[in-house]
Structure 1
Amino acid sequence: MKFKLIIASVADDITDTVVEAARTEGATGCTVITSARGEGLRKAKTFLGLDLTGARDIVLIIVEQHLARRILETIGRAGSFDAHPGAGVAIVVDVEDAIGLGSQMHTIQTEIEDEI
């Protein structure tokens, strides 16, 4: 079985929306890294040296390769990534190898049975 890693940088107020959207499309779990900092096209404004931008979260989701594109598109729509500048960005990368997914393998195999 081959896996992909979806990495999404999202505004912290939409993290739960993005995670729930991924779950509806077959993701069996995720890891959220909170309080990340990012910089987009325009440099963030500051007030007396304090950053005025909202906190960002990094969402890491390992999924079976056949589900990756659908989940990516779904979280993009759920988080309005293309509609609102700064809402988020997500990428997919190949996973060479993974361990620790044993408890999720039955669910993953059941979910992708129709896909392959």
Structure 2
Amino acid sequence: MDLNIPFDLIVTIVNKGGSETIIKATKSAGAEGGTIIPGRGTGIREQKKLWGIPIEPEKDIVLTIVPQEKTQIVLDAILEQGSLNKPGAGIAFVVDLKKVVGICHMCQLDT
């Protein structure tokens, strides 16, 4: 079934353990869930060493698919509740999705 609803993917990268705050923020703003993927940071703020050995901090990557009409509301909630306006707190960005399948709960069947 083809959904005629435009969707966005919000990608949020935060320090390990911060994903629960992001998921709560997205749900409170109208998203229905998300996917959490573990990752490692290599940004400018992650260049720390312990006994001369580089440390790569662990990150949580949260993927959230939302209808485009909810994107800004969800992104604002992520910014505020995740404190992403503070240095080193994380980053979020939006990717336009051309096609989405597998989210049948959003389909409205004509009967």
**Under TM normalisation by the shorter chain, which class is it?**
0.7 to 0.9
**Conservation of the 8 A alpha-carbon contact between 2:46 and 2:57:** no
Structure 2 residue aligned with 1:74:
77
**Conservation of the 8 A alpha-carbon contact between 1:40 and 1:86:** no
Q: Aligned partners of 2:21, 2:54: CA distance in 1, in Å?
A: 28
Q: Percent identity over the alignment?
A: 37
Matches for 1:84-95 after TM superposition, within 5 Å: 85-95=87-97
Aligned partner letter, 2:104: G
Structure with higher Rg: it is: 2
Normalising by structure 2, we get a TM-score of 0.84
Give the helix-richer structure, 1 or 2. Answer: 1
* Structure 1 unpaired stretches of 5+: 110-116
- Alpha-carbon RMSD across the aligned residues, in angstroms, is 1.7
* Structure 2 unpaired stretches of 5+: none
Aligned partner letter, 1:25: A
Q: Does the alignment pair 1:32 with 2:36?
A: yes
List 4+ stretches of structure 1 deviating above 2 A.
39-43
Give the strand-richer structure, 1 or 2. Answer: 2
